[in-house]
């Protein structure tokens, strides 16, 4: 067997695999001998079928199968030994007048080669890394939410604008009949709010759904309809009041502090506000980091230029698609996936050049940290090491979980690498400012 490579250009090559009779004949003969021993052909005793008849019936199929196996093994071994960084898979070239009746064969494969390039994380313009902080307004709102959550409902005869009014929404034509509790703070417009404020238990008021709430999600919950139905819904509904309650806020005292965080952890309102701020900003880190990953992805794509074997890749898409594709369809598919392919190559180079590999020990520690976090949510703050090891072992026996966690861990490694090596500027913003700037 002989394998040779012709370099067409920097991104394309053709590999030729020459297979001679001596490369496959022994294996083919052995398989045919086994066929002969077990063949059941009318007129012949088992094991006494003439070899000529066996070859005539099975010879070509066995030959084709063995040559193809030999070909794939040789090609894969060659690509590995030569350290050829290929995109997609080798594509067999069509050969006119190919004849299996000859004894020696020659096969050609087109290769699309990965480009050579350098990744530049630095640049003239720094990438913004947002630090999202919890401002006083957010902390006060969260404080009030906690007081409401741990407070109690007190019945009333007449509603005020911060009260809760329970009742039933009805519209016979749309088959709406749903009991719900309305937070009057979320009612939109003075005209609508006044109708609730004037009503007493047992009264029925008529409302227009369009512009009834400050948020469409409130309308979805109040009427028990789906999002599509809620969009631009403009009908009349009746609302019969069954209850009016005011939310009496819980006192900000030691009893509440202990309920929230355990005995003695928080001892003052100042401590509670500091804890609310700390917890909120921990949650914001994930959003800030994800935005940074997105920004660096765009930066590297814009600043890392290289050519791709476009024609080969479009041909490969046509050859490997689940459904037959025209040239134009394959071109469209390539254009949709090109950006993702480019970033895969960039990310792969960063990982390889900087040895950002995930070891099994790192993966096990990562799994154990995730387990501890989940157990803490259920009040188990000090699990034994053996218990963690056993649970981690079960999780890591699932290949899908291993793949998912490996991707998470690699993403974290890349993020840490970017923070240390990319040109960044930190910008402190509130959550609302972050949303406005990033998602506009």
Q: How far apart are CA 384 and CA 180, in angstroms?
A: 46
* Mean residue pLDDT across the chain: 91
Q: Phi and psi dihedrals of 48, rounded to 5?
A: -120, 20
Predicted confidence band of residue 171 (pLDDT cuts 50, 70, 90): very high
Q: What is the pLDDT of residues 327-367, one digit of tens each?
A: 999 999 999 999 999 999 999 999 999 999 999 999 999 99
User: Residue 45 in 3-state DSSP?
Assistant: coil
Residue 288's nearest CA partner among 160, 418, 191, 431 is 431
Query: Alpha carbon of 178 to those of 172, 211, 288: distances in Å?
Result: 11, 19, 40
Q: For residue 200, is pLDDT > 80?
A: yes
Percent pLDDT > 70 in the chain is 100
Handedness of CA 28, 34, 38, 43 (dihedral sign): positive
Q: For residue 54, is pLDDT > 80?
A: no
Q: How far apart are CA 428 and CA 246, in angstroms?
A: 38
Structure token digits, residue 429: 């913003």
DSSP 87-133: EEEEEEPP-TT--TTSS-EEEEEEEEEPPP-------SSPEEEEEEE
CATH for 152-248 (3.40.50.300, 3.20.20.100, 1.10.1200.10, 3.10.50.30): 3.10.50.30
Residue 174's nearest CA partner among 227, 237, 239 is 237
Cα 94 to chain centroid, rounded: 38
Predicted confidence band of residue 56 (pLDDT cuts 50, 70, 90): confident
Every domain of the chain with CATH number 3.30.70.1050 lies at 2-113
Mention every residue, 6+ apart, whose C-beta is less than 8 A from residue 76.
none
- DSSP strand E in 275-389: where? none
Element (H, E) at 18: strand 12-19
Predicted confidence band of residue 307 (pLDDT cuts 50, 70, 90): very high
Residue-level pLDDT at 55: 84
User: Residue 178 in 3-state DSSP?
Assistant: strand
Q: How far apart are CA 47 and CA 33, in angstroms?
A: 9
Mention every residue, 6+ apart, whose C-beta is less than 8 A from residue 128.
295, 424, 425, 427
Q: For residue 321, is pLDDT > 80?
A: no
Structure token digits, residue 376: 């803490």
Fold annotation for 2-113: Alpha-Beta Plaits (3.30.70)
- 14 DSSP β-pair partners: 6, 110
Strands 2-9 and 12-19, bridge-based pairing: antiparallel
DSSP 199-236: --TT-EEEEESTT-BSSHHHHHHHHT--HHHHTT---E
Q: What's the average model confidence in pLDDT over 63-78?
A: 93
Every domain of the chain with CATH number 3.10.50.30 lies at 152-248
Predicted confidence band of residue 379 (pLDDT cuts 50, 70, 90): confident
**Total residue length of the chain:** 440
> Whole-prediction pTM value?
0.73
Q: What is the pLDDT of residues 392-434, one digit of tens each?
A: 999 999 999 999 999 999 999 999 999 999 999 999 999 999 9
Q: What is the pLDDT of residues 112-160, one digit of tens each?
A: 999 999 998 877 889 999 999 999 999 999 999 999 899 999 999 889 8
Residue-level pLDDT at 204: 95
The CB density around residue 95, as the number of other CB atoms within 10 Å, is: 11
Q: What's the average model confidence in pLDDT over 70-85?
A: 93
Q: How far apart are CA 214 and CA 112, in angstroms?
A: 56
Q: For residue 380, is pLDDT > 80?
A: no
Structure token digits, residue 388: 């963690």
């Amino acid at each position: 067997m002989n394998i040779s490579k012709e370099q067409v250009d920097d991104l394309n090559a053709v590999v030729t695999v020459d297979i001679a009779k001596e490369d496959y004949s022994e294996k083919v003969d052995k398989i045919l001998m086994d066929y002969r021993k077990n063949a059941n052909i009318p007129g012949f005793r088992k094991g006494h079928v003439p070899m000529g008849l066996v070859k005539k019936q099975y010879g070509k199929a066995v030959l084709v199968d063995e040559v193809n196996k030999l070909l794939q093994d040789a090609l894969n071994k060659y690509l590995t030994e030569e350290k050829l960084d290929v995109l997609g898979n080798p594509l067999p070239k069509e050969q006119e007048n190919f004849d299996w009746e000859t004894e020696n064969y020659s096969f050609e494969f087109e290769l699309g080669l990965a480009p050579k390039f350098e990744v530049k994380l630095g640049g003239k313009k720094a990438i913004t890394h947002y630090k999202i902080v919890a401002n006083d307004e957010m902390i006060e709102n969260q404080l009030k939410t906690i007081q409401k959550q741990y407070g109690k409902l007190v019945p009333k005869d007449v509603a005020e604008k911060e009260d809760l009014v329970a009742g039933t929404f009805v519209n016979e034509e749309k088959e709406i009949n749903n009991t719900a509790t309305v937070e009057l703070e979320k009612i939109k417009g003075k005209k609508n709010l006044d109708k609730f404020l004037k009503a007493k238990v047992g009264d029925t008021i008529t409302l227009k759904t369009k512009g009834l709430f400050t948020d469409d999600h409130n309308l979805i919950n109040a009427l028990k309809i789906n999002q599509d139905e809620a969009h631009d819904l403009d009908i009349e509904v009746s609302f019969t009041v069954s209850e009016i309650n005011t939310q009496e806020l819980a006192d900000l005292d030691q009893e509440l502090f202990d309920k929230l965080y355990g005995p003695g952890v928080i001892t003052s309102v100042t401590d509670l506000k500091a804890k609310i701020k700390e917890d909120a900003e921990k949650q914001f880190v994930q959003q800030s980091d994800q935005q940074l990953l997105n920004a660096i992805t765009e930066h590297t794509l814009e600043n890392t230029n290289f050519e791709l074997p476009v024609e080969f890749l479009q041909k490969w898409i046509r050859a490997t698609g689940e459904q037959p594709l025209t040239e134009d369809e394959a071109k469209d598919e390539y254009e949709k996936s090109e950006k993702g392919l480019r970033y895969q190559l960039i990310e792969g180079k960063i990982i390889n050049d900087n040895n950002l590999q995930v070891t099994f020990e790192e993966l096990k520690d990562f799994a154990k940290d995730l387990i501890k976090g989940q157990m803490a949510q259920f009040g188990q703050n000090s699990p034994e090491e053996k218990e963690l090891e056993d649970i981690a072992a079960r999780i890591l026996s699932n290949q899908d979980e291993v793949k998912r966690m490996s991707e998470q861990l690699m993403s974290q490694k890349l993020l840490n690498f970017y923070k240390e090596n990319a040109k960044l500027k930190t910008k402190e913003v509130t959550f609302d400012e972050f949303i406005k700037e990033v998602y506009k």
